[in-house]
Amino acid sequence: MLVLSVGKALSIQAHPDKELARVLHKLYPNVYRDDNHKPEMALALTEFEALCGFISVKELKDMLSSVPEIAELVGVGNAERILLVNEQHENGKSKTDLESIFSRVMLLSKDTISEMISKLKRRLNLEKKKRQLTVKEQLALRLESQYPADVGAIAAFFLNYVKLNRGEAISLGPNEPHAYISGECIECMATSDNVVRAGLTSKPLDVQTLLSMLKYRQGSPEILQGVPLNPYTTRYLPPFEEFEIDCCNLPQSAAVIFPSVVGPSLFLFTAGKGHFDAGLPEDDMVKEGDDIVEEGEVFFVPANTKIIITAKSTELQLYRVGVNSKIYRDL
> Catalytic residue numbers?
197
The phi and psi torsions of 155 (rounded to 5 degrees) equal -60, -30
Whole-number Å distance between alpha carbons of 141 and 137: 7
Q: Is 57 exposed, middle or buried (0-12, 13-18, 19+ CB in 10 A)?
A: buried
Q: Which amino acid is at 277?
A: D
The phi and psi torsions of 288 (rounded to 5 degrees) equal -70, 135
- Is residue 87 within 8 A of residue 34, CB to CB? The reply is no
Q: Which of 38, 15, 18, 34 is nearest to 26 (CA)?
A: 34
Query: 122 Cβ partners below 8 Å, 6+ apart?
Result: none
Q: Which of 162, 132, 154 is nearest to 48 (CA)?
A: 162
> What residues does 248 pair with on adjacent strands?
233, 318
CA separation, residue 126 to residues 73, 119, 121, 165, 299 (Å): 21, 11, 9, 32, 53
Q: DSSP per residue over 196-239, as a string?
A: EEEES-SS---HHHHHHH----BSPPPPB--EESSSSEEEE--S
Element (DSSP H or E) covering residue 297 = none
